[in-house]
Chains A and B, each alone.
Chain A
Amino acid sequence: AQSVAQPEDQVNVAEGNPLTVKCTYSVSGNPYLFWYVQYPNRGLQFLLKYITGDNLVKGSYGFEAEFNKSQTSFHLKKPSALVSDSALYFCAVRDTSNYQLIWGAGTKLIIKP
């Protein structure tokens, strides 16, 4: 079965430090991978996607993600965290059978001043 796992419910990072939010996936065929962010009392917003090409994908708000085929991972990263990055982050992969998104359970990112 196709699936997405976000192994951490919560990640705590000090402001200015690098951050990583982890995501692993299982899908048949080529993966199409996405990261979305949800700020409090808001809907989800698209951050970035991997379709093909360079394994390092750059997205909005200084975020980037690294696609690793051998480890079936797509971790979200940022070199220097801001307090305003505190939010809920969702990883998703496109289901190759019906093209709908399969979502992870989300990771709450807390950036402390």
Chain B
Amino acid sequence: ETGVTQTPRHLVMGMTNKKSLKCEQHLGHNAMYWYKQSAKKPLELMFVYSLEERVENNSVPSRFSPECPNSSHLFLHLHTLQPEDSALYLCASSQDQGWTNEKLFFGSGTQLSVL
């Protein structure tokens, strides 16, 4: 158990739906991340939060909207997605963000399919 829990594990949604992904970390970390994982591609960093403040937003379309209400919880709100958004969405946490030797702790991911 990595200490990072993601729900749901699988999600199928239509392009007009609104859904949310949830991440919770039990490690007392100060930084949380959303990554997109597509087959045979490098992980794409989407958002970074440090102490509940967004510090990185890598040109992600506005149909993805993150929310970090406290240092233990992270959400990714989804609306009007496209089929190419189908992927595994991974949440991760670290003690702090920006430390050069720090490691990330990942959840098991949400496998998203957009129909």
Contacts and interface: CB of A to CB of B under 8 A. Distances in A.
Given A34-B103, A51-B100, A43 B4 contact: yes
Interface string B83-115: 000000010100001111101111111000000
A101 B97 contact: no
B16 interface: no
B97 A43 contact: no
Contacts, number: 53
Interface of B is mostly: loop
B45 interface: yes
Contact of B56 (A51, A90, A98, A106): A98
A43, A46, A106 — most chain B CB neighbours (10 Å): A43
A39 B43 CA distance: 15
B42 A43 contact: no
A105 B41 CA distance: 4
A44 B90 contact: yes
B81 interface: no
A45 B56 contact: no
A32 B6 CA distance: 28
Interface string A1-19: 0001000010000000000
A94 interface: yes
A34 to B, nearest CB: 7
B42 A4 contact: yes
Contacts of B42: 4, 102-106
